[in-house]
Structure 1
Amino acid sequence: MYSKVAIMEQMLDLRNSKCYKIGEKNLVTRDNDFEMATGNVNGIMGYDSRIRIKGTNKVDSTKSPIPTTLLNNSITDYCSRPQKIMFILQKSDGESTYNILFYEIKRDLFQSEKEFFTDELHNMH
């Protein structure tokens, strides 16, 4: 129990994390049911939609995954190809687009890579 509390603190401290990754859970594991994970070598947070299309056993892909598990294992134990999270964008509930840069892996990286983004991302601050 206490190890999960320590992992949660690390998982939620995005600004001081040295490396944070995201990936689809595609490796076979025992007793772990989630679709994707965020984390690093210290631990992961697993996410799952778990919202089924009425009358079927299929997951409704229009619903966003929510956190369902916290594990103190490396992300590579569950995801064979995790990708680095370079930016985290933020928006308010009433807004249709993300307009705030919450996190970037390296200072001013967003500004230097901006030319490769879509027009909508160019105007973010």
Structure 2
Amino acid sequence: MAINLNGMHYVGNDGTYRAAEPAPKGVQTVKVQPIAVPAIIVEEIKEVTRNFGDEALIGEGSFGRVYFGVLKNGRSAAIKKLDASKQPDQEFLAQVSMVSRLKHENVVELIGYCVDGNLRVLAY
């Protein structure tokens, strides 16, 4: 389904993007693929990172801090809490969709994500 990144849209109950209104003429639309990794609930992220505590902190970069945690599915993960951004949810989720499908021996695999209010988290 095509979405207008400059207009109104939402994610339906089935996880697909839906346009709340048609894209105006002349506005470029982007076909968004499904996200190929599961969403992780914020409570699990906070639990496995000890509420983003210093004891779980393993690094810090230009876009946020990285924490170590073992997810409930048993996978060890580097959990990146992105710095506050004014990026709309739809744009972030479109990027997550693209990264979730990247599979290459030289690219760290995305294994989950979390969006909760202004909180944006990626699990690798």
TM over 0.5: no
- Whichever structure has more helix as a proportion of its residues is 1
Q: Provide the TM-score with structure 2 as the length reference.
A: 0.27
Q: Provide the TM-score with structure 1 as the length reference.
A: 0.27
Structure with the greater alpha carbon radius of gyration: 1
- Whichever structure has more strand as a proportion of its residues is 2
